[in-house]
Structure 1
Amino acid sequence: MDRRELNDLAAFAAVARERSFTRAAALLGMSPSALSHAMRGLEEWLGVRLLARTTRSVAPTEAGARLLRSLNPALDEIASGLEALGGWRERPSGTLRITTFSTAAAAVLEPALPAYLLAFPDVQVEVDVDNGLTDIVVAGFDAGIRFGDTVAKDMIAIRVGLDQRSAVVGTPEYFARHPPPTTPRDLEQHACINYRLTTSPGLLPWEFEKDGREVSIRTSGPLVVNNGPLALAAVRAGVGLGYTLEADVADDVRAGRLVQVLADWCPPFPGYYLYHPSRRQASPALRALIATLRAELVS
């Protein structure tokens, strides 16, 4: 058995586990079309069909499932051996690709990333700031940083930030013209600054909870943005109400520039988490970054 055949068997195992050529290709660092071509070649070499393909899904056949059961112990042993070799490295190295959104980049990465880069000069970090919800497996990222309640359940998630709270705010001048809302439904009568995620066609709902009751409100107003600072600029100018993180407007509220309403409808929610695929062993560079972010959290 040559090296190409071994590579094709490992690729087959990735496709069978992921049930997707796209996700498996991202893990393997190759294009879906090249991976599909390799699987057809493997099936021709073995003389048996390993994968059942449809336009929407891919799954191992009975023969493929049997082969996968045979391959898994050997692949796990190889992975363990490679992981053990990682312990011989004195310093983390290589490229680390992280996706996050602007608020998390400012709150989590800005305080800690310079010290990390100085401590580990052999690591090159690429940060992609995207206010959508990027699939890190498909996009080929090593890890992401998001709010804990938006992380998929099949990911390994590590807390790297404190709990957060949402806040509805407006200027004193705005509330001089409009009565403050006392329930989330009252927001339907107000001008609201709305936010649209780059990966979603709809507007981000304003979500509230009180005494176990959850309420999601679709607001309307004169401005829709996908940029937090621009939204807050409009709120501070008195254009309308904003729905943001309490931490982002705490100074404005203390100084009286903004007035917070519906605070009793905004309980804490899980803060920032770094997450990575559960089937992918964290590299030394990623483990070092996690340790750095965790140290910043408790400092």
Structure 2
Amino acid sequence: MQNGEYTELKAFCAVAEAGRFSTAAKRLQISASALSQIIRRLEDRLDVRLFNRTTRSVALTEDGERFFQQIRPALGSLEAAFHELKAQSGTLSGIVRIHATHMAADTILTPFIGQFHQHYPDIVLDVVAEDSIIDITAAGFDCGIALGEFVQQDMIAYPLGPELRMTAAASPDYLAKHGTPQTPADLQHHQCLNWRHMAEKSIYRWEFFQDDHWISVAVNGPLITTRRELALTAALQHIGIVFWTEDKLQPWLDSGELVPLLQDFCPPFLGWHLYYPRHRHSSSALRALIEALRQFYPRPSSLSESR
């Protein structure tokens, strides 16, 4: 196989997996126009149309689907062999593309990246942090970090920490002035510090477990923010009630600066998970990241690997 043929086949598989030229181009680190030319060159050489193109989408033709199913395993084996050879030479390199929420990036990756870089200085972590739920395979990511409930189906998932728990909290001064809510419905009569979901432009509805099922409550108050840290600061300044995970509020709960509220309505839920596709072949760089995260965040005894 000539180098140009390998480039064409790799480009073809990237477009077939992503379903978009723009997404595949980002994954291959080339321009969309260059990628389109490569695919046209392959189609001309094979004298077969591989994709049906519209202004919004790209879909495999019947011939393209059959060709994709035939070459994908072979190409995966070839790339795996390349990565293994590099690994055996003593140098692991490559790019690992990670999709994570902002909080996951702060909580999970920030304490981890220094140690990982010391062990694997030639591996580049390309991290996109955004508060949205996406198909990481279609978007060209190698893995993702999200709360367990948002992990895509048919993924390998590994817990990176214990279960989490949401907690409503306010300062003693606020509660002395406004009273203490006893049920989620009582929040309608309080000043609540709202968090806006940046990706969807929507305001998060506070979630509680009541009468054997989950409910969501739309609350009002003097602050709406995309930064939960700002809501925490406002609560410490006696402005209203904050709603965040218990681990984030714990220092102020321990000091007494904040008082936990509605705890009977806030059961634990699945925490942060690393997840990645069940690819038969994955890069040595991705495997190194997975193993490093497993060692840095040993699985809690109460949790097991899922899916």
Q: TM-score, normalised by structure 2?
A: 0.82
The 3 A distance-change label for structure 1 pair 73 and 292 is closer
Q: Which residue of 2 aligns with 1:248?
A: 248
Task: Please tell me the residue identity of whatever aligns with 1:93.
Answer: S
Q: Would you say how many aligned residue pairs link Structure 1 and Structure 2?
A: 299
The 3 A distance-change label for structure 1 pair 17 and 194 is same
Q: Which residue of 1 aligns with 2:76?
A: 76
**CA shift digits 1:41-78 (9 cap, x unpaired):** 33233333221223333221122223223323432332
Question: Are residues 1:56 and 2:56 paired?
Answer: yes
Q: Can you give the 5+ residue segments of structure 2 that lack an aligned partner in the other structure?
A: 300-307
Greater mean deviation of Cα atoms: 72-81 or 224-233: 72-81
Cα separation, 2, equivalents of 1:10 and 1:121 = 26
Cα separation, 2, equivalents of 1:107 and 1:138 = 25
Q: Which residue of 2 aligns with 1:66?
A: 66
Cα separation, 1, equivalents of 2:23 and 2:125 = 22
Aligned partners of 1:162 and 1:297 also within 8 Å: no
Cα separation, 1, equivalents of 2:38 and 2:69 = 20
Greater mean deviation of Cα atoms: 61-70 or 146-155: 146-155
Q: Can you give the 5+ residue segments of structure 1 that lack an aligned partner in the other structure?
A: none
**CA shift digits 1:121-180 (9 cap, x unpaired):** 444545555455577567765544322222333544322222111111111221222232
Secondary structure of the 1:298 match is coil
Cα separation, 2, equivalents of 1:16 and 1:285 = 23
Aligned partners of 2:80 and 2:282 also within 8 Å: no
**CA shift digits 1:166-198 (9 cap, x unpaired):** 111111221222232233232222211111233
Aligned partners of 1:23 and 1:137 also within 8 Å: no
Cα separation, 1, equivalents of 2:220 and 2:194 = 7
Cα separation, 1, equivalents of 2:221 and 2:280 = 44
Cα separation, 2, equivalents of 1:188 and 1:231 = 18
Q: Which residue of 1 aligns with 2:150?
A: 150
Aligned partners of 1:18 and 1:24 also within 8 Å: yes
Task: Please tell me the residue identity of whatever aligns with 1:292.
Answer: A
Task: Tell me by how many angstroms 1:281 deviates.
Answer: 4.8
Task: Tell me by how many angstroms 1:267 deviates.
Answer: 1.5
RMSD (Å) for aligned C-alpha atoms: 3.0
Aligned partners of 2:19 and 2:138 also within 8 Å: no
Task: Tell me by how many angstroms 1:244 deviates.
Answer: 0.4
Q: Which residue of 1 aligns with 2:303?
A: none
Aligned partners of 2:101 and 2:130 also within 8 Å: yes
Task: Tell me by how many angstroms 1:116 deviates.
Answer: 2.6
Aligned partners of 1:26 and 1:137 also within 8 Å: no
The 3 A distance-change label for structure 1 pair 290 and 232 is same
- Aligned identity (percent) is 39
Aligned partners of 1:210 and 1:267 also within 8 Å: no
Task: Please tell me the residue identity of whatever aligns with 2:107.
Answer: A
Q: Which residue of 2 aligns with 1:273?
A: 273
Cα separation, 1, equivalents of 2:26 and 2:161 = 28
Task: Please tell me the residue identity of whatever aligns with 1:157.
Answer: A
Alignment of 1:1-299 (within 5 A): 2-96=2-96, 98-125=98-125, 127=127, 129-131=129-131, 142-153=142-153, 155-210=155-210, 212-279=212-279, 281-298=281-298
Aligned partners of 2:18 and 2:138 also within 8 Å: no
Cα separation, 2, equivalents of 1:144 and 1:73 = 23
Aligned partners of 1:22 and 1:138 also within 8 Å: no
Secondary structure of the 2:111 match is helix
